[in-house]
């Protein structure tokens, strides 16, 4: 299990470095999806299957759709992705898929860390003692969206 955890961590770090170093925003978004999926695999290995599902649904799903929308809204880059841009994310994604398949075949982790937290407990935590953190995260996402729009808009359009 430690080997799979380490491999997922390496994929997460490598994908995050690729996000930072890519000049094309669409290529960076591909690596960001891989990074989110790697973190979801790490959460699954830690026994937090619900958090892993939330990671995939919220971050790899909803937030990425928002980022792609902003990139398309700005419209100053080529959206078409050449085939060679898929090689890195495809290799990393295949490695993550193999890790998840291995965990499914050999059984999910058990023990004190693998206690199931349901949606009600997570919701009560987010909107109970962690409400300030939840609201700050929402404002940061909004600020990022507004900042990306203003930084990327063309001078001719207003």
Confidence of residue 13 (pLDDT cuts 50, 70, 90): very high
Decide: pTM greater than 0.95.
no
User: How many whole angstroms separate alpha carbon 66 and alpha carbon 144?
Assistant: 11
pLDDT tens per residue, range 103-155 = 878 876 655 555 556 778 778 877 888 888 888 888 887 887 787 777 667 65
Q: Could you give the angle at which helices 64-74 and 25-45 cross, rounded to 10 degrees?
A: 180
pLDDT score for 11: 92
Q: What percent of the chain has pLDDT over 90?
A: 7
pLDDT tens per residue, range 33-71 = 889 889 888 888 887 777 788 888 888 788 877 777 777
Signed CA dihedral, 119, 121, 124, 128: sign only: negative
SS (H, E, C) 53-76: HHHHHHHHHHHHHHHHHHHHHHCC
> What would the mean pLDDT of 28-33 be, rounded to a whole number?
85
Q: Considering only CA atoms, which of 146, 30, 121 is closest in space to residue 84?
A: 30
Matching CATH number, 2-114, of 3.40.190.10, 1.20.140.10, 3.30.230.10, 1.20.120.1200: 1.20.120.1200
pLDDT score for 121: 79
Domain locations along the chain = 2-114, 118-158
CA distances from 100 to 10, 26, 37, 115 (A): 15, 26, 11, 19
Confidence of residue 78 (pLDDT cuts 50, 70, 90): low
pLDDT score for 110: 57
CA distances from 54 to 47, 133, 157 (A): 13, 17, 37
């Amino acid at each position: 299990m430690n080997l799979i955890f380490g491999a997922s961590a390496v994929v997460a770090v490598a994908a995050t470095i690729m996000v930072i170093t890519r000049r094309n925003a669409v290529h960076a978004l591909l690596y960001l999806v891989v990074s989110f999926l790697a973190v979801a695999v790490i959460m699954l290995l830690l026994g937090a299957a619900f958090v892993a599902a939330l990671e995939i649904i919220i971050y790899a799903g909803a937030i990425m759709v928002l980022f792609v929308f902003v990139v398309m809204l700005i419209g100053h880059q080529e959206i078409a992705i050449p085939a060679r841009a898929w090689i890195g994310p495809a290799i990393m994604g295949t490695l993550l898929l193999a890790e998840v398949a291995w965990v499914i075949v050999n059984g999910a982790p058990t023990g004190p860390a693998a206690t199931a937290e349901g949606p009600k407990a997570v919701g009560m935590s987010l909107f109970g003692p962690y409400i300030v953190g939840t609201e700050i995260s929402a404002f940061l996402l909004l600020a990022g969206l507004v900042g990306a729009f203003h930084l990327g808009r063309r001078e001719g359009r207003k």
